[in-house]
Amino acid sequence: MGEVDAGPAAPAKPMPDLTALEVDPSKGERFFKAVLVHSKQGTTYRMVAKSMADGRLDLVHFVCDLSADGTMNGKRRIRRIESQRPERWDKEVETIQKEITDKGEEVQKVWAHDLTGIQDVAEQVASLDAWMLQTAKEIVAG
């Protein structure tokens, strides 16, 4: 009656990174575009999309803080939008800018990176990482 198992507890499952966008080239997936939108008051939004074999997009965007070296920290307000037409990309960029102005802030700049011209996913990842870091450093430097 009421026995307790004193054995070791199963390890907790790691929390998935809700901001991650997995791209599987064997399924015809590729990175599509990335954007950073920064307000003059210091709010930074990041959005990345992948294209799927049928031409639809999966998008993920979030707000983050930037450290002095350009690293993105404190991800919050994560939004994933799946299986959308490519036109949705521009609408989401507009939505992010509207969110910023609706909060009484002013958009400083929008930086965009088009990855559609790179076919190899590993090259896309390298290009995306380098662009993100360089752009984040530019934002931090002011």
Q: pLDDT of 63-116, one tens digit each?
A: 998 887 778 888 999 999 999 999 999 999 999 999 999 999 999 999 999 999
Residue 12 reports pLDDT greater than 90: no
Residue 14 reports pLDDT greater than 80: no
Q: Which amino acid is at 67?
A: S
Percent of the chain with pLDDT over 70: 87
Residue 8 reports pLDDT greater than 70: no
Could you tell me the pTM of the whole model?
A: 0.86
CA distance 19 to 47: 9
